[in-house]
Structure 1
Amino acid sequence: MRQQPLSLTTRLALLFAMLTASLLLVLGLLMERLIGAHFDQIDSQELSAKMAMIDNLLGQAHSSVAFDALLRQLDTILVSHDSLALSIRDEEGEVLYAYRPEQLVAAKQGNEAAPQTHWQHEGRSFIGREAAKTLPLAEPILLEVLIGLDISHHAHFLSDIRRHLWTGITMATLIAAQLGWLAARNGLAPLRRVTRTAGRLSADHLGERLSERDAPAEMLALVSAFNGMLDRLEADFQRLSDFSADIAHELRTPVSNLLTETQVALSRPRSAEAYREVLHSNLEEFERLARMIADMLFLAKTDHGLLPNPFETVVLEQEAEALLEFYEALAEEKGVNLQLTGNATVTGDRLMLRRALSNLISNAVRHTPTGGIIEIRINSTQDRAQLSVSNPGETIPTDQLPRLFERFHRADNIRSHHGEGAGLGLAITRSVIKAHGGQVTVSSQDGITTFCLSLPLTGRP
């Protein structure tokens, strides 16, 4: 069974606790070492002071009587020093004086350099110092002096320090973990709100938004991006809903026509000519359906980036002239004039670019009144080719302009009067131009509507 990973809040809380414990441990060890060094210095100074005192007393013993008096004086001096132990021996190792000698049994005897030594006796800690001294008699005597100092109280103090240190570190770690958990939980509150909001999202409830006022600076970009994503989702779902409704509406008309004509044809016997007329009418509806389905498949390919990569050199003037010849008969029938000026060369798929331009010209011919002039202008700037198609007619409302390139959209009171198209031509044009790295724009004012295509020139990115 896969183990459940720790939450981000728990991870941050553990991180805070580990950092706190580490810092306190380092500080505690440093403090313990400093205190231990201070105690060592104090003990060393006390040993040095006692050794200097004994050296001074021995230096005053110029006779055996004075030495015996010195030994009695040491009893008086050391009786008030419970932490000291002293041993004086001659060069043969005979003990001349001993004060608490049992505490010196475990002492490590040093050489003439008399290094400081450490030992344990009955659970107590000692440090000592050994030194060679000379008794200034008529015949000088070499003495070995060993002083021991009980430092158990220092060891107990350091033990208490360690115990309190570990207790403090443990308590501080737990408190840091709790405070870190609370801080992380409060700091990550926007993430939980994002989760709750995402849990409530559905196709019917896309109006949820996160407040940016109480979001921390680190989360503000996430909250803003999440709200932007919701805006795009809501707009995309609305377009999808409209698209589905438009598909149903567009397909209903030809299917209804086919159904009605077929039912009428089958309602009673008819002549072969009458059946041919019905089949011819049905063929027109089937062709309309085929064009609509082909257009929707084309747009589906563009949505998934399945259009072929442009690679041909396309002379825009030549493609525009070929299309004008194709639409010339329709334009003459409507009493519309076609004009072409300028030239530019681009790189792309010739058939797709011709289809995009054909949609614009077809649109212009349908909506230009009798006697109007459709102008196609081609020019180039430093790195872009511009192709515009302008035609007179009713001015399209400003609020409708951005929606002209949406699928199945028709501007109210203008395109609704013309039933030739399914409302996919401009959407296809935009997809084709976008696939070629260009863009298409539209403007409509003072009775003139202009569609402008902008494409990279040949050899330009």
Structure 2
Amino acid sequence: MSGRRASLTARLTLLFALASTVVLLVLGWIVAGSVEHHFEEQDMAELNGRLAQVGRLLDKLPAAGGLDGVPRALEDSLVGHHGIAIAVLGPDGRIHRAGHGAAFPEARLRGGPADGRPRVWEDAGNAYRGVVAALPTGIPGASPLRVGVATDIAHHRSFMDSFMRTLWWVVLGASLATGLLGWFAARRGLAPLRAMGHRAGEVSAQRLDQRLPADRVPAELAELADSLNAMLARLEESFRRLSDFSSDLAHELRTPVSNLMTQTQVALTRARDADAYREVLESNAEEFERLSRMIGDMLFLAKAENGLIVPGQARFPLADEVSALFEFYGAVAEDKGVTLRLSGRADVAGDRLMLRRAIGNLLSNALRHTPDGGAVTATVALAPDEAGRPGVRLAVANTGAPIPAEVLPRLFDRFYQADAARRHGGEGAGLGLAITRSILRAHGGEVRARVEDGQNVFEIWLPAAD
């Protein structure tokens, strides 16, 4: 079992505290470096000044023996300046020193580089910064002398140590403070998200109409709220359709099952001859056939709605399928005196059998609702859809009674029949037009119904064959 995940508030607080700590550490490092550099510049100004002073004294030397008076002159110049040490290495190897509270190491004067660059060292627990330089003298033909100047930086080190301790405590305190402020800011900032979660928690099967207030959340969460509201709308619509489907299915199955039970119970009430039992079985067979068709249609619709139907892509003339269906329904049309007309021609690409079933449902529906002596007209033509895509349109028009405007939007719903008397008369379960729409959508097309010039027009649109 995995451990409990850290909350978003904790993550944001930690990230904010870490980022603040890093920024403060970098800032402290820069400040400490600046202070240290400032002290180094001060020390170098002091050391270079002393080197210049020593250089002026050496320039005035009349002879090599004059070095004996240099320490005295240097001591006089260092009156009131503690922590300064000066050492001069004479031509004879002797070291002449001067200084108060500091001493220049002999090893550095004799063996160190005379490049004038600062060096830092410790001696007897004290820290020093010093330079060694080669200075010319006023003695003709004499080589430059090595001169070392050092200053005590213990007070600088003490200040920097105290400064760094204070700085790290400030960084630690600031990190804790920024973490606390970050937690408070994260809590306040995520309050709309918690409110959305609380509102979403109130949604249930009985309260699918709940929506998140997208207009009262920050802009960053508005898109999420809109997406969740759209999801809730889809769930509400799907739940409503499922509920309607369950109710319609129970209603449609109840009638044939009730008929089967009634006929069977009546047949069993008394002994009958073989012909009577055969008549009951034939009637039951009709009900079973109706149930089988209904179950097959419902399975087809379920597959279509879940995208499990993958139609073929054979190319064929749409008018040929309509003409073949006209021949199939020719006897029915002749009995009713209905005239069948076909015009136009265009090719489509799709599953021939599935499209024939869809068109057959439209023609069967048109013939059933066309009065005796009427006409059913099928027109095939090239026509783009509303988006401008090239396609083929098949319009099936009949001269029956105009369909009421309030009925048109529901014609393609499952189990819907505008005439309730036809439902109970055994003329179908109201799945034909729903199946037609599913077939057309599986092919990337659409079907719609309208009333035009006193005729009922069912129009299907399919993408044109390449």
TM over 0.5: yes
Q: Deviations over 1:302-357 (max 9, x none)?
A: 23333343133333222222222332333344443322222222222222111111
2:417 to 372, 394, 410: 410
Q: Does 1:441 align with 2:443?
A: no
Q: Is the 8 A contact 2:84 2:102 kept in 1?
A: no
Q: CA RMSD in A?
A: 3.2
Q: Report the alpha carbon displacement of residue 209 of structure 1 after superposing the two structures with TM.
A: 1.1
Give unpaired runs (5+ residues) of structure 2. 385-389
Tell me the distance in 2 between the aligned counterparts of 1:140 and 1:297: 115
Output the TM-score relative to the length of structure 2.
Answer: 0.87
Q: Deviations over 1:26-75 (max 9, x none)?
A: 33323332332232222111111122223334555659999777655544
Q: Report the alpha carbon displacement of residue 193 of structure 1 after superposing the two structures with TM.
A: 4.1
Give the direction of change, closer, same or farther, for the CA distance of 1:325–1:67 in structure 2 (3 Å limit): closer
Q: Report the alpha carbon displacement of residue 284 of structure 1 after superposing the two structures with TM.
A: 1.5
1:245-264 matched pairs, under 5 angstroms? 245-264=247-266
Residue of structure 1 equivalent to 2:56: 56
Give unpaired runs (5+ residues) of structure 1. none
Q: Deviations over 1:125-169 (max 9, x none)?
A: 211223455775899898654322112222233333433333333
Q: Deviations over 1:58-116 (max 9, x none)?
A: 55565999977765554444231122123345334445443347633487223554543
1:298 to 297, 300, 304: 300
More deviation in 205-214 or 404-413?
404-413
Q: Report the alpha carbon displacement of residue 222 of structure 1 after superposing the two structures with TM.
A: 1.7
Give the direction of change, closer, same or farther, for the CA distance of 1:453–1:142 in structure 2 (3 Å limit): closer
More deviation in 389-398 or 409-418?
409-418
Tell me the distance in 1 between the aligned counterparts of 2:167 and 2:445: 71
Residue of structure 2 equivalent to 1:167: 169
Q: Report the alpha carbon displacement of residue 292 of structure 1 after superposing the two structures with TM.
A: 0.5
Tell me the distance in 1 between the aligned counterparts of 2:157 and 2:263: 110
Residue of structure 2 equivalent to 1:454: 461
Give the direction of change, closer, same or farther, for the CA distance of 1:437–1:95 in structure 2 (3 Å limit): closer
| SS of residue matched to 1:375 | strand
More deviation in 364-373 or 91-100?
91-100
Q: Deviations over 1:1-48 (max 9, x none)?
A: 534443333333333333333333333323332332232222111111
Q: Deviations over 1:362-388 (max 9, x none)?
A: 111222233332221111237311111
Residue of structure 1 equivalent to 2:387: none
| SS of residue matched to 2:214 | coil
Residue identity opposite 2:446 in structure 1: Q
Aligned-pair identity (%)? 46
Tell me the distance in 2 between the aligned counterparts of 1:404 and 1:420: 15
More deviation in 192-201 or 114-123?
192-201
Q: Is the 8 A contact 2:318 2:345 kept in 1?
A: yes
1:307-456 matched pairs, under 5 angstroms? 307-381=309-383, 383-411=390-418, 419-444=426-451, 447-456=454-463
Tell me the distance in 1 between the aligned counterparts of 2:379 and 2:137: 125
1:49-198 matched pairs, under 5 angstroms? 49-60=49-60, 71-72=71-72, 74-88=74-88, 90-100=90-100, 103-105=103-105, 108-109=108-109, 110-113=112-115, 115-132=117-134, 144-198=146-200
Tell me the distance in 1 between the aligned counterparts of 2:38 and 2:58: 30
Q: Is the 8 A contact 1:13 1:181 kept in 2?
A: yes
Residue identity opposite 1:404 in structure 2: L
Q: Report the alpha carbon displacement of residue 262 of structure 1 after superposing the two structures with TM.
A: 1.1
Q: Is the 8 A contact 2:447 2:461 kept in 1?
A: yes
Q: Does 1:12 align with 2:12?
A: yes
Q: Report the alpha carbon displacement of residue 234 of structure 1 after superposing the two structures with TM.
A: 0.3
Give the direction of change, closer, same or farther, for the CA distance of 1:326–1:59 in structure 2 (3 Å limit): closer
Pairs aligned (count):
459
Residue of structure 2 equivalent to 1:233: 235
| SS of residue matched to 1:293 | helix
